[in-house]
Structure 1
Amino acid sequence: DWVVSVPDGRIEVLTIIERYNTRLSAAPKKFGLKGETYHWTQSYHFNSRLYEKLLSSVFDMLEDGQLVEEADEILETMKLTWPILGITQKLHDALYAWALFQKFAQTGEILLLKQTDLQIQKLKLHNNVREAELYIDSFVCSVEGFGSNGTLNLVDSALLKINMWCHRQLKNYHLYFSQANCSIFESMLNLVLLTAANLTDDDEEAMLIGTSLGSTPESTLIHILVVRSIQAAYKNALISADGQSKAEFKHPLILLASELKLLVEKECSAFSPVLHKYYPEAGRVALTVFHLLYGQQLELFLEGSDHSESLKEILGASNSFELCIAQKLYSMYGEAAGSSLSNFLKPYMIDRFSSPIILQWLHAQHENVLEWTKRTIEIEDWEPLSVHRKLATSMVEVFRIVEETIDQFFNSSLPLDIVHLRSLLIGITSSLQVYLLHMENQQVSRATLLPVAPVLTRYAESVNPFAKRKLIEPAVREEKVANKLNNLTVPKLCVKLNTLQYIRDQLDTIEEGIKQSWVDVQSAVGLLDYLSCMTSEGATSKSSPSDESIDELFTIFDDVRRTAVNITDTILNFIGTRAVFWDMRDLLLFSLYRTSVESARMEIFIPTIEQVLDQVCDLIVDVLRDRVV
């Protein structure tokens, strides 16, 4: 437009500009650098912006976040502009790093972040002469960062901006990073350490957990980042737990413990391995802060005068979270976990609150199981449960509720001790003994079934051989005994025998399962002792019950086994007598006694006996079959 509108005067204007530019170029050099001109310092704002625009030509316009293949050639060509724009190698490295980082912030492409890292490493290797340093220092920029304002040269300003952006992300790395982009986290952490002129910040005085004496600036910075990030993540988890508690009808502390366990897993799997390279105590710091923050919230709840109905669940969730912390500490540092940070580890001492709650719960469960056992045994008809399971339904139900109690006992996530285990075993034994006592009371004496022996089979001197023989009449039994006999048929006796064998087998299974679960309990107790030893700097932990003492507890089951064996023997002695002297008395015994001697032969009754044996073999379990037969 200027050429068209002023066709005649442009030569004169350009001549004036050229003359003025020549005069400025002839001005004395301010820093004595080779090729230095007046425009280097007086127009550095424009020059640096223009060079940034030129640097943007290395980025691919079609593939966002990628460098063009000719990037190296473009950068080499751009060196031709250095004498005109007053760019030095150090300025180039700083401006190129800034351009790469800005592009990374837009795209999130890790390749650009790594290129930024390389450029800053090159920048740190520069050892410029005094004149070059003075020249760069003349480019003054006003900056605001870390709560203060100041002025820096252009290079330091670019590095500070990069550092501030990364620092802001890393102070809440749980929010911005995950296992998927952990490589970006590591590169950004390395970038912060490279670009930080003063690695510490003013936050350290207000830290929840301060650094130890003699810490390096690098470890201090990472310490601060870890604590700040976990505090931010904890705050978000606390807000989330409060919001979810109303929707899920759970206490916030239960949900908070669950949220924090996920954060601990994320910390230990994604971040701690990276942070450990620069600061070996990073994992310990993170776990200690998690433990301390939740402990403060739990302490406030326990100090309250009115504990909610969900106290048992809250204590279980808290204990589970503390076990998670202890397990992670042990896996990271083993027995050598003691350090100055141990002073901040205050065990929750859940057992002080949970022990009486567990005993109360066990007492209530025992009463429920006992009541259920009495009710179900009263209505038992001793019919087989199914074709394949020829035992009493009531016993299956009793063991079902017993197993539910055992599962709830060990899944409560509360600290357990030998007193609780003893109470559990006593409750199980009491219910089974009540069941067995009822079975025993249903039996009648075997002698009740035996007929009175005929006169001819008895000899005594007082017997008159010429007396008239009397017919043998069956004894008239009491109504109560008769009713019992009606319920003691051979099929029902077989079901009872199967049930007694089931009790013995199931008791062995339960004992083995409880012992295995108790091993896990002892492992948890060991972890809590490990945590306590760290805080007290002790070398030993509380002694746990020996295997012998645990085995002694289970001898209480032997009483149940002996009772079951005794009742089994009683029924085994009774079942044959019942079949022969009661069920087959008319067909077998009376016929043998009432008919003539010639017709009284056992072969006649073998088919009948075989029918009974077939019925028994169909009903009885294999273990008892031979004894019953």
Structure 2
Amino acid sequence: MGWTEKRLLAYHDTFNPSNIESMQSIVSLGVSAAKILMEDISQEYRRKRREETDVARSRIDTYIRSSLRTAFAQKMEQADSSRRSSKNQSTPTPVLAILAKDIGDLASKEKALFSPILKKWHPLAAGVAVATLHSCYGNELKQFISGVTGLTPDTVQVLKAADKLEKALVHIAVEDSVDSDDGGKSLIREMPPYEAESAIANLVKTWIKTRVDRLKESFDRNLQQEVWNPRANRESCAPSAIEVLRIIDETLDAFFQLPIAVHPALLPDLMIGLDRSLQHYISKAKSGCGTRNTFIPALPALTRCEVGSKLWKKKEKSQPLQKRRSQVRSMNRDDSLGFPQLCVRMNTLHHIRTEVDNLEKKIKTCLRNVESAQADISNGLEIKFEISLAACQEGIQQLCEATAYKVIFHDLSHVLWDGLYVGETASSRMDPLLKELDPILKMISTTVHDRVRNRVITALMKASFDGFLLVLLAGGPSRSFSCQDSQIIEDDFRSLKALYLADGDGLPEELVEKASAQVTNVLPLFRTDSESLVQQFKHMIAEAYGSAAKSRYPLPPTSGHWSPTEANTILRVLCYRNDEAAARFLKKTYNLPKKL
């Protein structure tokens, strides 16, 4: 009995293809001995057992599990020895990767050589064998995973080997259990999944998070050093953006070089991280630049015109204008939010938008080289930098408007807000503004990318038209107009429009006409006599307020949307009308002061 047991409890050491024929008789001997021992057990003990024990099956189960545990331990030692002997190689194979292959071979040998013999006494002999091997390897793998801190080639190699081994073992177990009562469920329960793919996925997610966190830190460092110099490169875009895109490109290369088979499944995680990082850069690139509303001046309180000479007002204004002009120009030379720098910011966002398209194409190409991705591509895997693309579009629009309104209401305020039509209308006309706008348009043409250029010029045109209307309707008590001034105003506006048309080389005429429609509609009010304007105003107020307007005329609110059919617009024309009829109506109706 002892001799038989010793050989069967480690039958891998006892039997091989040359003596396998003797195994059946020795197993029969071992099983018979076990049955005899069982029969010696007292009848009383046997009565207490809930069910009859299948002695043969139980014994074979013990032989299989014992022998395979012994064989596993031997394979473990061999794998460790093999690893040590390969240390001098440039890329020695990890122990558990070697072991996985050896265990796979051991399982195949078990199924082919021993299981057919043992199946006579145990119908699930092969299943028990692979379940035992699965458990032994699983214990080693669990210890390995608990010590893993990052995604290394060794880690991936081990996990891929483990996944391959598990699939092979489960396949044998399922195949061996086809005819069993429970379909092999009891065996499969003995084989909790290694979840190697899940472990790889988690490690890749950690890798992605680490990379993305580093990206944001790098982006912030680059932005802190950025001066938005228009002469930094041929594209007149920020060097920091070029560096940012290079880092993203390298990150994508590194991702697709990871030795994993789940690129398509984990790509969305990486895309989200890169997309948000790029959005972070875009947001920083336009932060502090303001919007159109940042630069539009607050409207002064309504006043009535002081009828008479205005020459003293022009003289009073002329002295501080020179000082302001020099301040604006000196500020723009080294200001990171100066006009040239804002142009660079626009170019930068356009460059990012263009390069993002190229990155998306690159990702699709990389995915096509991954076999497992073919289905994902055909199933519409989203490969888009949606957030950053939208941020670019929005950012370019914001920068175009902010730049335009900054130029008109801040940089050129000395010739527009502080100069145009101040004092005598005829002696403070549009020419200084046109003269200052001309080099700005030339700078846009030479600095801003041609795909963005017209958007900036269009925004500048709209800003100058808005500025022109604000001067006419909310320019403060230093301005006043007579009906005779209307021709000057109309001629000046034609000159302003002509600047943007540039004799056919500028913006499309249709675009200019559309943008100028509001001004064009309002200008006829300036040649309408005051009595007619007063009557129009009264009629509009009566329509708007009904019976409430009989005793007194409510002051219409300022909407900012100037129109000849809007009461507030007509009221403002009257406020700046230099004649007795308008002044008398405003004094009587609203008691408006002559000065602020």
- Whether TM-score is above 0.5 comes out as no
Which structure's CA Rg is the greater one? 1
